[in-house]
Amino acid sequence: MKKILITGGKGFFSKRLTEFYKDQYEFIVTDKEELDIVDNEKVEEFFTQYRPDYVIHAAAIAVTDFCNKRPDIAQKINVDGAVNVARAAKRVSAKLVFLSSEQVFNGNENAGPFSEEDVAVPNTVYGANKLEAEALLKDIIDELWIVRFTWMFGLPERNNNMVNNILWDTLTSILKNEKIYASPHEFRGMTYVYDMIENFEKVFSLPFGTYHLGSINNMSRYEMVKHIFSSLGIEERINELVVEDTEKYSDNPRDIRLVTDKAKSYGIEFPDSGEAMRRCVEEYKIRLKQESGLLV
Ligand SMILES: NC(=O)c1ccc[n+]([C@@H]2O[C@H](COP(=O)([O-])OP(=O)(O)OC[C@H]3O[C@@H](n4cnc5c(N)ncnc54)[C@H](OP(=O)(O)O)[C@@H]3O)[C@@H](O)[C@H]2O)c1
């Protein structure tokens, strides 16, 4: 059984991943409490003790606003921490998967979708951190997969972490009867977290390198919000709650979608974001009753 050490293992993605594969792999699940990746001595000690075959480096501060406000902390965790993990992985001959992000393309003047060959120009601290870490890690360890994820979505589960995502944010606005402003000029890949998880073990069979992973999405953010309403069975509330924010990104449309053909050529395939959204809503059996606003 492969021994996999995961950092940031209590996060939105990682906790669900380790639960999903718990019978196939031996996981050493760590988060801040067990292994603060900033503490290099501890990282070295931990890797020497457990000698994993594989490492999934998922730990990060992934909240863009926080990283912009506290670039010092973001750099320590997102860059220095990643370097600590990569050096320790190399020392014990473990193969490393580094989770990166579509956000490396945030500042590109040209519109996406972007392939692995395109030059990335981040314009947030978080995006810049991820790109810097990618470059540093490549110099440290050859047995490295860099996987850039699109934006993931999912719903709360008992004892599982949640992060901002389009489905949960839309759902909470609906429950609070709040208006949702969504731009028709914003385009991102949106991936159901379980589609990412189900595909994830295929990463270990890929040649080392950089890969874009996630669903392709031809809908703007505005269209996706409306699609969520339809998937929830409440199309009739779209006019009341969804506002087409035509101003946002009107001068410079935001398109940070990823081309995922490279991963696809190795058999890693995703449904498009619309289909994935319907599947997620269906799996959680969520229908909203119009008259009461309650979940049934
Ligand atoms: N969610 C997405 O849509 C998305 C998209 C692209 C890429 N990614 C990347 O995928 C990875 C997982 O994302 P996620 O959404 O699951 O994020 P998440 O829920 O925030 O998970 C990250 C985990 O890392 C932990 N962590 C923070 N600082 C740490 C430290 N110093 N040492 C050890 N652990 C630390 C966090 O703990 P605290 O919560 O206590 O801080 C959290 O449990 C991240 O690298 C993220 O950048 C995510």
Give span(s): CATH 3.90.25, the chain. 151-191+215-256+272-296
CB of 212 shorter than 6 A to ligand 1: no
User: Above 70 in pLDDT, residue 292?
Assistant: no
Q: What is the pLDDT of residues 101-144, one digit of tens each?
A: 999 999 999 999 999 999 999 999 999 999 999 999 999 999 99
Q: Is CATH 3.40.50.720 correct for 3-149? A: yes
Q: What is the pLDDT of residues 20-43, one digit of tens each?
A: 999 999 999 999 999 999 999 999
Pocket mutation for ligand 1, best pick of 61, 78, 85 (most atoms within 8 Å of C-beta): 61
Give span(s): CATH 3.40.50.720, the chain. 3-149
CB of 126 shorter than 6 A to ligand 1: no
Task: Give the per-residue pLDDT at 285.
Answer: 87
Global pTM value: 0.97
Considering the chain, what is the average pLDDT of its residues?
96
Task: Classify domain 151-191+215-256+272-296 by CATH number.
Answer: 3.90.25
- Give the pLDDT band (50/70/90) at residue 293: low
What ranges make up the beta strands (E) of the chain? 3-7, 26-29, 54-57, 95-101, 144-149, 151-153, 180-182, 186-187, 190-192, 209-213, 242-244, 254-255
